[in-house]
Amino acid sequence: MISPLIRLSHVTFQASNAQKLIKNLVDKYRFHPFAVRSLQGGSPCQVALRNGGVVFMVNENNLKTYKNSVMLFDSPLPIPFPDTACNVSFEVDDVPGLCRRLVGEGCQLLVPPMQLHDDFGSVTYCIVKSIVGNVNHTLIDRSHYKANFLPGFDYFECENNLFSSNIKYIDHVTYACPRGETRYILEWYRRCFGFQHFPLSEGEDPGRGFEISGPGIGLRLTSMACTSLNEGCKIVVAESLPQEGPNQIDQFLKHHKKGGIQHIALSTPCILKTTRELSELGVCFAKQPSSYYSHPRKREEIYSVELKPELLSQFGILLDSAQRNASQDTYKKFLLQVFAEPLFYKDSVYLEFIERRMAEGFGEGNIRALWHSMQNIQEDLHLKEQEVGTPTVAQ
């Protein structure tokens, strides 16, 4: 089918303390607020922030806002619910027509097609419940709207606009899901939005996905892509393998019983510059053991693309090659990745930074190393929680 999706609009976070998350995104990740919607006579309850081509919306969802406001372009999760990322919004060109088709596919509409107007024009939107846990999708037609965001928001500028952008777009969104659910998720996204299986390894079986197992890791990853989306944001579905015992996917599912957004990967044009700048602002990145960078084969791989192991190891950056040119003995396609600390408590959503140099997939070596590094950062946070007696949240 031809996908109805045009582009990814924004990703929404629900936070019990929105101001704390907003401060974190502004001070440490260089996002700047540009649109806000407030409670009548009260504090902001919805704030949109931008860094380069990425827009996050932060919704305040506590007992006060839940009882006294109606969120625009979103549907609040029931109270209590953990702080989370919960809505991936897409732009489309025919909201009513798409809604009729989604209802015909058995989808649940949380908000039917609605049209909002202001001095800049009109926007039509609806909200559909996805098949994944707490994840919703707001579908927006803003072809008749001239402002920078959406009706109902006030716009403002701030000095953070002076920051140089270190983000291009959202590379992929990863869902953590219960065991055995991946195939249902893939089929739902295929039927509803035209996503297709995107192999992470050559000859990969779509029904089996990409499995990685071994000491301390048991993981199945399956990726899907929608060719109509600008920038081609992928959705990756992750589930744990039963034979390996509890792991970070299972820990995440303790707070998101039926699945949810585990991490969001942001594309950056220069990961070394980005990690250096964000580290200076207080972002903690998952570190790698020195053996990763000292292994002869890995060192050769890093040097072959004119980088230095010492530079990558400073911030825990991983490198994986997608293709090797045997005639020149150089790596032509590769990617660089690193995970940041969780945005909320230790088992919550976190950000990944990724730089692609012609590589489209995800290397097995990087996946293994990223997995272990995230396990380590969660264990460190768990020790800190035990020391202070309360859940550790990113400051």
* Binding residue numbers for Fe cation: 172, 263, 352
Q: d(Cα 164, Cα 159) in Å, to the nearest integer?
A: 12
Give the amino acid at 154: D
Per the CB < 8 A criterion, the answer to whether 233 and 173 are in contact is yes
**Buried b / exposed e across 65-98, counting CB within 10 Å, b at 16+?**
bbeebebbbbbbbeeebbbbbbbbbbbbeebeeb
List C-alpha distances in Å: 228 to 7, 12, 91, 194, 274. Answer: 8, 22, 11, 9, 29
* Chain position carrying tokens 């408590």: 345
- Of 294, 275, 296, 277, nearest to 286 (Cα)? 275
Per the CB < 8 A criterion, the answer to whether 219 and 182 are in contact is no
SS3 85: strand
> What is the C-alpha R_g of the chain?
21
Q: d(Cα 230, Cα 235) in Å, to the nearest integer?
A: 14
Kindly tell me the number of DSSP H helices and DSSP E strands found in the chain: 10, 18
Alpha helices in 131-270 (DSSP H): 182-193, 248-255
Q: d(Cα 263, Cα 265) in Å, to the nearest integer?
A: 7
Per the CB < 8 A criterion, the answer to whether 109 and 48 are in contact is no
Q: d(Cα 351, Cα 236) in Å, to the nearest integer?
A: 14
- Of 300, 337, 332, nearest to 319 (Cα)? 337
Q: d(Cα 285, Cα 315) in Å, to the nearest integer?
A: 6
The DSSP bridge partners found for residue 340 are 285
Residue list for the binding site:
172, 263, 352
The phi, psi pair for 55, rounded to 5°, reads -120, 125
Per the CB < 8 A criterion, the answer to whether 175 and 238 are in contact is yes
The DSSP bridge partners found for residue 48 are 35, 57
